[in-house]
Amino acid sequence: MASYAMLCWLLPKWKSVKALTMASKIWAYGAVKIFGLKIKIYGNKQKVRGLVVSNHLSYVDILLLGSIFPLRFAPKSDVAKWPVLGWILGSSRPIWVDRSSKYASLDTMKKFSETVRNGINLIAFPEGTTSDGKGDLLPFKSTTFEAAIHGNVPICPVLIVYEQDNISWARDDHTPLLIHGWRVLQLFQIRAELHILEPIVPPDGGRRKELCRDVYNIMNERYREIISANNS
């Protein structure tokens, strides 16, 4: 696997990125087996292409989504410092998201657009951070959606739901990553649902903030329905 990833880096840029999405899928599939992740998929995964947007509950989300779709990741820049996962993501040529300045955000937007225009699936978590998954989705950041408008590609919303509450590593959880990861490994099995919603085609001349609002409303309404059904 490592040798294949190294060979991918020798290809021209976009061929390299595309090949690495496949390498990441193979790696993520293996990691899913180690974590004992059992995924039930609702919807047609063959429809998923372009800009994939998901709710965000845990670092496990990356393994789950990466094992199902070939994706280019767009993690926050501080993830690069994480043990193991940071190194693995770094080797896949991700787009490191830095929101520390307007210039950095514009550069991220440009890279998002270039990725989807080159026919590479991009995964983004527009909430910008993880939640506990018990209420509404967190407000979306609109920058993500500029890529779909400029790239003229569909937005593919997906929703992740874990059966166990302790999979979430929310922003107000001060448990160190390694300790939380060890607790997750001790579960031996993680049961998850992936709900694939219908693709959304950005309107001609659309604005990213309006598109962001519309996608949020669709995803949040469906998320409420799923949580309500699971709790009944």
- DSSP output for 117-184: HTT--EEE-TTSS---SSSSPPPPPTHHHHHHHHHT--EEEEEEEESSGGG---TT--S-HHHHHHHH
Q: Taking the model in full, what pTM does it have?
A: 0.87
What does the DSSP assignment read for 74-112? --BGGGGGSTTHHHHHHTT----B--SSHHHHHHHHHHH
Average pLDDT over residues 35-56: 92
Confidence grade of residue 198 (pLDDT, cut at 50, 70, 90): very high
Mean per-residue pLDDT for 42-57?
A: 92
Taking each helix axis from N to C end, the angle separating 102-117 and 143-151, rounded to the nearest 10 degrees, works out to 40
Q: Which of 104-113, 153-162, 180-189 has the lowest average pLDDT? A: 180-189
CATH number of the structural domain 2-231: 3.40.1130
Structure tokens, 93: 């040529």
Per-residue tokens: 12:
């021209």
**Listed range (107-116, 166-175, 203-212) with the worst mean pLDDT:** 166-175
pLDDT of residue 53: 96
> Between residues 153 and 160, which one has the greater pLDDT?
160
pLDDT above 80: residue 58: yes
More confident residue, 222 or 168: 222
Q: What is the pLDDT of residues 87-146, one digit of tens each?
A: 677 777 888 887 676 667 778 888 888 888 888 999 999 998 888 888 899 999 988 898
Per-residue confidence at 171, pLDDT binned at 50, 70, 90? low
Closest residue by Cα to residue 153 from 21, 22, 41, 47: 47
- Across the range 149-177, mean pLDDT stands at 81
Q: Where are the domains of the chain?
A: 2-231
